[in-house]
Amino acid sequence: MDVSQAIEGRRSIRAFDADRDVASTLITSILGTASRAPSGSNIQPWHVYVVTGAAKNRITEACTARYLSGDEGKSEYHYYPQAWRQPYIGRRRQTGFGLYGLLGIDKADTAAVQDYRVTNYQFFGAPVGLFFTIDRDMELGSWLDYGMFIQSVMLSARGAGLETCAQAAFCPYYDSVMPLLGAPDEQMLVCGMSLGYPLSEAIINGYRTERIAVEAFTTFVTD
Ligand SMILES: Cc1cc2nc3c(=O)[nH]c(=O)nc-3n(C[C@H](O)[C@H](O)[C@H](O)COP(=O)(O)O)c2cc1C
């Protein structure tokens, strides 16, 4: 797979083949490739927890129970702006409408929305969950590095025939997730990720998000 194919063909996968395990040697190899991601002064501020089997199930159960009880939790960091505004709120809505539209979910149908949201905590059926954490005394620059690492995990996974979905959905329940990972208090949860082989026939995996044109976000400054 060439680089353009790896980047342009990536999409968030939300239905995985639950019966097709991923060898731990392959996971190690994907993470090893991803660790070639750059970081300022090569400080490599990432920690990764790989969960499978009973450990993964415990996280599913804890987060699902909290979500269904109406406990929204509270992330340790703000992923999104505190005050939404255009053009970002518009893009966010478009993504939500697109997904729900494809699945035929009416946003007013609380039960259907809940059922869908729970699939996040089930790792969309993936056999592997990854959790990315960072030492809480790291600064913004390290979060920048982290994004490059996470994208590298996604691309490296594609090179091995696997797919991913990054998941901030776990962050509000970090206080359940982190102890289940055995992560120390000095670390913060950055996000989770589902990893596995995609179910090609699943409608939701056909969802292709749009991008704004290069001209809309790029300024060439010359004389
Ligand atoms: C850090 C991060 C967290 C995300 N969290 C979630 C999530 O919790 N649940 C989900 O379904 N998608 C999640 N996404 C996927 C985004 O919705 C998706 O990347 C975006 O809509 C663009 O679509 P694409 O990945 O298919 O190109 C996340 C993406 C990123 C980068």
Domains and CATH numbers, the chain: 3-217 (3.40.109.10)
Q: Is residue 218 helix, strand or coil?
A: coil
Q: Supply the residue whose CA is at minimum distance from atom 4 of ligand 1.
A: 167
How far is residue 17 from each of residues 57, 95, 154, 200, 220, measured CA to CA in Å?
16, 24, 17, 9, 44
Q: What's the pLDDT at 38?
A: 98
Where does 28-74 show beta strands of DSSP type E?
47-51
Cα gap 223→26, rounded to integer Å? 50
Q: What's the pLDDT at 195?
A: 98
Q: What's the pLDDT at 1?
A: 87
Q: Supply the residue whose CA is at minimum distance from atom 2 of ligand 1.
A: 166
Residue % of the chain over a pLDDT of 70: 100
Mean pLDDT over residues 117-141, rounded?
98
Mean pLDDT over residues 136-155, rounded?
98
Q: Is the distance from the beta carbon of residue 12 to the nearest atom of ligand 1 less than 6 Å?
A: yes
In angstroms, what is the span from residue 73 Cα to ligand 1's centroid? Answer: 19
State residue 157 phi and psi, 5-degree precision.
-60, -45
Angle among Cα 37, 80, 151 to the nearest 5 degrees reads 20
Q: What's the pLDDT at 62?
A: 98
Residues 121 and 69: beta-carbon distance below 8 Å:
no
Q: Is the confidence at residue 22, as pLDDT, over 90?
A: yes
How far is residue 171 from each of residues 76, 163, 189, 190, 219, measured CA to CA in Å?
7, 21, 6, 7, 34
In angstroms, what is the span from residue 100 Cα to ligand 1's centroid? Answer: 14
